């Protein structure tokens, strides 16, 4: 199932505590997790179990309260804010439930934006964007605005934006949450195709049907891993 044997992500005893009005909320309690290159991992569990908190830490959008996070053999805690931002931009592709497309930019410009932040030359950007849009079947919509697309098409563009920079890992947070079942299945099929092509994917979902698409499902409950199951 694995296309590679290298450990891409290693979490050791990761905790996350939120303090509000003198109340401590333990969102994550001692998470141990390894994700290898080429794996497709789904993170499942009830609402409030820590799924999105874990994904935020994996995506360098948040920092653990304790424990260590190693990404590509580098300890994340040692990184400065600019280094974290650079790694987020180059190594991590995000796919959100709410698409997060910019309304007054075309499909092409939305996908191009993270590459512009990298300072990539225009010709190279164009090639990367066109390739990503073709991979998700949206090349013919490059000049459209998000408002001219269906929800399913918008999510495909969001996947293209995540893919365009050729990241080490795709992080998907409830990528089918705002889609009807038909479009949800289409996006899941697309992720499956990308995985077959070598992409490493880590997806949060509350939908058991979609969790089954993954090689491996990690169940969280009250901030702990209660089950780590390889697909049959």
Q: Which one, of 178, 156, 213, lies nearest residue 97 by Cα? A: 178
- Please, is 119 exposed, middle or buried when counting C-beta atoms within 10 Å of its C-beta (0-12, 13-18, 19+)? exposed
Domain count, the chain: 1
Instruction: Look at residue 1 and tell me if it is in a domain.
Output: no
pLDDT over threshold 90, residue 60: yes
- Please, is 82 exposed, middle or buried when counting C-beta atoms within 10 Å of its C-beta (0-12, 13-18, 19+)? exposed
Instruction: Look at residue 82 and tell me if it is in a domain.
Output: yes
Please, which residues bridge with residue 202 across strands?
41, 171
Identify the pLDDT of residue 17: 94
Q: Determine the average pLDDT of the residues in 41-62.
A: 92
CATH code, domain with 123: 3.40.50.300
Structural domain range at position 142: 7-230
Identify the pLDDT of residue 5: 65
* Each residue's pLDDT tens digit, 142-173: 999 999 999 999 999 999 999 998 898 999 99
Instruction: Look at residue 113 and tell me if it is in a domain.
Output: yes
How many degrees, rounded to 5, is the angle at CA 156 between CA 57 and CA 196? 75
DSSP-derived secondary structure letter, 213: T
How many degrees, rounded to 5, is the angle at CA 73 between CA 199 and CA 65? 100
Q: Determine the average pLDDT of the residues in 44-53.
A: 89
pLDDT over threshold 50, residue 61: yes
């Amino acid at each position: 199932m694995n296309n590679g044997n290298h450990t891409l992500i290693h979490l050791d005893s990761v905790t996350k505590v939120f303090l509000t009005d003198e109340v401590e909320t333990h969102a994550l309690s001692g998470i141990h997790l390894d994700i290898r290159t080429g794996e497709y991992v789904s993170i499942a569990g009830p609402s409030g179990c820590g799924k999105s908190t874990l994904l935020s830490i994996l995506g360098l959008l948040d920092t653990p309260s304790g424990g260590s996070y190693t990404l590509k053999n580098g300890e994340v805690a040692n990184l400065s804010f600019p280094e974290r931002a650079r790694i987020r931009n180059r190594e991590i592709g995000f796919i959100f439930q709410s698409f997060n497309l910019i309304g007054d930019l075309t499909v092409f410009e939305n996908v191009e934006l993270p590459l512009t932040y990298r300072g990539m030359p225009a010709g190279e950007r164009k090639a990367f964007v066109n390739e990503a849009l073709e991979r998700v079947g949206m090349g013919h919509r490059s000049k459209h605005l998000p408002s001219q697309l269906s929800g399913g098409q918008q999510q495909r563009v969001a996947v293209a934006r995540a893919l365009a920079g050729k990241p080490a890992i795709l992080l998907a947070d409830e990528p089918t949450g705002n889609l009807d079942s038909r479009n949800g299945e289409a996006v899941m099929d697309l992720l499956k195709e990308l995985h077959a092509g070598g992409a490493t994917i880590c997806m949060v979902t509350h939908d058991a049907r979609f969790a089954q698409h993954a090689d491996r499902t990690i169940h969280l409950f009250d901030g702990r891993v209660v089950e780590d199951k390889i697909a049959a």
